Amino acid sequence: MKVSDTCIYCASPLYHLKEGYVKCSQCKKKYSPVRISQIKTLIQLFSNDENALEASKSLNVTYVTVSKYYQKFRHLCAEYCENQYNIHRTNESQYEEYLYIEKSKRNNKSAIFDSHNFLTFSYGEKVYTLLMPSLGMFKQQFLEDNLEGVYYKEFSKFMRMSKIIKISEHDNAITKFWHYFEQFITPFKGVSNEHFPYYLKEAEFKFNTPKQRRAEIIEVLYFKSNG
């Protein structure tokens, strides 16, 4: 065996083993460079907004495998966004409330309970999102009391306000993010309540981070978390 290159986890010299694996001289981790290359490619595809199905086809990897990696990347994005906001936020941060519901459900009165309500804070040209409790827990009671129409009416008012915002000249970081989020989330054609917070944080991360830096940041976070 020979020593060359550096460990992806701790940057120490590597031993190259006969079966194609490498072993770190310091942290003693043993791994396949081919697998590491594949993970880096997945990170690049994720950073470039390539969806999991397209990525699985281009790499000839199962969709389930790619989805698991993508979900891990979203968790890392959420952690990164949290840290960045805590480091860089100022006392002058502004925030606005946003109510999101899938376009296909917007004319269904009872679907108001499937909406996602989140606050959007701005700090400089960046944003931070905070998901609020779901109305889903109240759905059955309001349907039984025939009060879903009340909530639908309020939602309709919000939609009119949203349209006014979109055509106005009021274009700060918060409204820019709302426009970006609507474009980002639509292609997924429905995201479960369980996974929605992480898609929201993915959008926040990508909105705040220049495209050319996304993969670099996620790579560092991924291999650090697995080190």
- pLDDT, one tens digit per residue, over 82-100 is 999 999 887 666 788 887 8
Q: Which residues contact 158 (CB under 8 A, 6 or more apart)?
A: 99
pLDDT at 226: 78
Structural domain boundaries of the chain? Answer: 1-31, 32-225
- pLDDT, one tens digit per residue, over 185-206 is 999 887 888 899 999 999 999 9
Confidence class for position 175, pLDDT limits 50, 70, 90: confident
Q: Which residues contact 4 (CB under 8 A, 6 or more apart)?
A: 13, 14, 16
| Contact between 101 and 111 (Cβ < 8 Å) | yes
